[in-house]
Copies of this chain bind each other. A is one copy, B any other.
Amino acid sequence: MSQRKRRAGMGTAADRAAAVSGRGRDRADAAPATGLGARTRPAAARRQAILEAALTEFAARGYEAARLDDVAAAAGVAKGTLYLYFKDKQALFEELVLGALTPIMDRIGAARLSPDIKPLDVIEMFFALFQKEVLGTPRKHLLRLIIAEGPRFPSIAEFYYREVVMRGLALMREIAGAAVARGEFATDAAARFPQLIVAPLLLAVIWDGLFSNIAPLEIDGLLRAHRDLISGGGWQP
């Protein structure tokens, strides 16, 4: 009874796909007047509602303290329904974290390096994108969640490193390398340690989470100053 499965790997796409594909249902738009919310929304929408509620809940309380009863309530769904869409609490959490990060990386990857744009401008665009798409949205909480819970979710940490950190740093390194080659940066520091380029973004996320209501951080100014540092200040080629 209640054999707690160990399950090391993360949720399989298999059962998830099975749950999602529960066709039928749909046509919510066709019969919106029916009233009772139950069974009126497409399955995908319910999934989405659950994920959004889960983000709020996990962000506010952390993984352990988040209660699935609250997630269900916030999603306008019964507790049991959660288990139709997600295997268990951990699967819900992992899917939440994993699913919300790759889209950003794809958009960032799109802002690729082109020979006619100054590297510093690409970095500036990257900062702007990060500000708009992460710091300006609930996604910032996701980032904090990864920092907070990552050590206890090796699978998430690994995924995050592979899909986000490695790719992002490679891009930064490429950009910085080009800038150094063009003689636009005063030192190759940023090219050797692209982590230095993103460090202030991390700081901004953390600051926001901890001190935003004690001493808000002027992020625009911070990032502009950081850009000055990266390029070498008043230094000109």
Residues in A lying within 8 Å of B, measured CB to CB: 1-2, 4-5, 60-65, 88-90, 144, 146-153, 157-158, 160-161, 165-166, 185-187, 189-190, 192-193, 195-196, 198-200, 202-203, 206-207, 209-211, 214-215, 217, 221-222, 225-226, 228-230, 232-235
Contacts and interface: CB of A to CB of B under 8 A. Distances in A.
B147 A147 contact: yes
13 contacts: A1-B63, A62-B64, A151-B210, A186-B232, A189-B228, A189-B229, A192-B225, A193-B221, A195-B217, A196-B222, A196-B229, A198-B203, A199-B203
Copy count, this protein chain: 2
Nearest to A146: B210
A232 B234 CA distance: 8
A182 to B, nearest CB: 15
Chain A interface, >50% SS class: helix
3 cross-chain pairs, A with B, having the tightest CB-CB distances, nearest first:
A186-B233, A187-B233, A148-B148
Contacts of A210: 146-147, 150-151, 157, 160-161
B61 A211 contact: no
Nearest to A185: B233
Contact of A229 (B158, B190, B203): B190
Given A187-B233, A189-B233, A232-B232, A226 B196 contact: yes
